[in-house]
Amino acid sequence: MKRVVITGMGVVTALGQDLDTFWGNLTSGKSGVSLIENFDVSEYPTRIAAEVKDFKIEDYVDRKESRRMDRFVQFAVAGALNALKDANLNLKEDTDPERVGVSVGSGIGGLNTWEEQHRILLEKGPKRVSPFFIPMMIANMASGHISMVTGAKGPNSTAVTACATGTHSIGDSFKMIQRGDADVMICGGAEATITPIGVAGFCALRAMSTRNDEPHLASRPFDTDRDGFVMGEGSGVLILESLEHAEQRGARIYAEVIGYGMSGDAYHMTDPDPDGAARCMVKAIKDAGIAPDEINYINAHGTSTPVGDKSETTAIKKAFGDHAYKVAVSSTKSMTGHLLGAAGGVEAVICGLTIANSLIAPTINLVNQDPECDLDYVPNHARQATVDIAMSNSFGFGGHNATIIMKRFQA
């Protein structure tokens, strides 16, 4: 099978919309969480989120085209174009567009568009609903628009697996290149659910933090005082290439993707099962052909929910045995918020940057570590460390689990 490498990365997040700004803020332990500004949240139990501020889609596509994109699609397109620029990859000159695919998913899709058009339906009637309502809302339009904007004509698909979406998209793309279905894949996730109905729905689940007076302290994975996740928005997109294709064009390589695991909990709509998560990690390790103790770093799903963090800690112990206490684990959601379907994309970017820079981003706000969460979570400050192999975990509602593994590239 073909070797697969990461040659480009792009992000749109509350911590930055370019890699340098994003990585600098992340490794300095900055929180991207603040009071929600997009709509009136005075009656909401949760009034905080990690919003993307000052985003201008006009910097990427023309205004007419942008009006036909939901906000999550705009984030996806921006992330993809940033990643292609970072990879220095011109699809018309450097490769055959029919060998370039797209797999950028979304856990929920066009919630902004759905809300707006439902309001119009109620206020003005069915004849006033936009003809673009459906094509703007459906989750596959992230991949669809990226292919149209870039000219990519290879495999085009969309994963919709809640918070595992971004990681499934990257893992599936890894396998497509391994099989020889494509030479290049544009892959990751995008999400934009900081909307009235989106926030209300998660508030109704009692899944989000209500630490409204201290937004920057609200996301605190593995801490005794954690009280729920903080919603984020944005995108994380990677450019994967076959090693042969990357070397032919002299590409810079961040890391090599070596393993992918998937599993289903068959357990509960929202609560995780540590057995399912452990099986997912074990499958990825087996796929990578490595031993568990070769992994130096795990970017945890780590959402800051009371049940989820405990469950993931248990799963890591099941998958790694004694090595669980020796591997560095951090949850960068403590700073980015939880980007739902985009989380796996952003966190894969973080793993790539961790390997390339020999620097592990911290878990911030970890003041009183939960005794049941007793691993090394790199508390509060970034850590210089050589990371040869990194793992990224994503676990979604419905029991969808995904894990990818990448390593330092060696020719």
* Distance from chain centroid for Cα 244: 27
H/E/C letters for each residue in 264-311? ECCCCCCCCCHHHHHHHHHHHHHHHCCCHHHCCEEECCCCCCHHHHHH
Spatial contact of 265 and 396, defined as CB atoms under 8 Å apart = no
CA 201/CA 270 separation, integer angstroms: 13
121: left (phi over 0), alpha (psi -120 to 50) or beta: alpha
Bridge-based pairing of strands 34-35 and 297-299 is unpaired
163 in catalytic set = yes
CA 84/CA 343 separation, integer angstroms: 20
Across-strand partners of 157?
A: 103
Q: Which helix (H) or strand (E) holds 156?
A: strand 156-157
Task: Say which of 163, 280, 351, 373 is annotated catalytic.
Answer: 163
CA 167/CA 171 separation, integer angstroms: 6
Across-strand partners of 384?
A: 359
Placement of tokens 């796996």 in the chain: 344
CA 141/CA 148 separation, integer angstroms: 10
The catalytic site residues sit at 163
